[in-house]
Amino acid sequence: MAKYELLKSEKNKEMLKDSDGHLYWKKMLRGERTYWCCVLKEAGADGDIGKSGHVQWDILTSAAHNHLPDWNRVELKRLQGIVQEKALECKDLQEK
């Protein structure tokens, strides 16, 4: 079973990382389903459309990726989220 991790983008939007190291943008909510789209789909990695799908609990259904995972980008997003959280904590402390 694949594992997923929620990350935050630079604009504090939700991103999803799967156990293979691919990143997804949160596209839309419909009922209990959350639809995600590969971050490289819009970029057209390898000149192809890419991958999109939806997650309902622990299930992801979609087509295959046309690119390898970018572990450096995944780690960057994870660290970026930590820095953003710390910055917000500092801002909250200054306002008190």
pLDDT tens track for 45-73:
444 444 555 554 444 556 677 777 777 88
- Check which CATH number belongs to the domain holding 21 and give it: 2.20.25.240
Q: Are strands 14-18 and 4-8 parallel, antiparallel or unpaired?
A: antiparallel
Secondary structure class of 37 (helix, strand, coil): strand
Q: Supply 93's token pair.
A: 């402390």
Q: What is the pTM of this model?
A: 0.58
What single-letter amino acid sits at 23? L
3-state helix, strand, coil in the chain (%, to 5): 30, 35, 35
Given a contact cutoff of 8 angstroms between Cβ atoms, the answer to whether 25 and 15 are in contact is yes
What single-letter amino acid sits at 69? P
Parent domain of 12: 4-95
Q: CA 60 to CA 89: how far, in whole Å?
A: 34
The total number of structural domains in the chain stands at 1
Q: Which residues contact 51 (CB under 8 A, 6 or more apart)?
A: 22, 37, 38, 41, 62, 63, 64, 65, 66
Residues of the chain with pLDDT > 90, as a percent, come to: 0
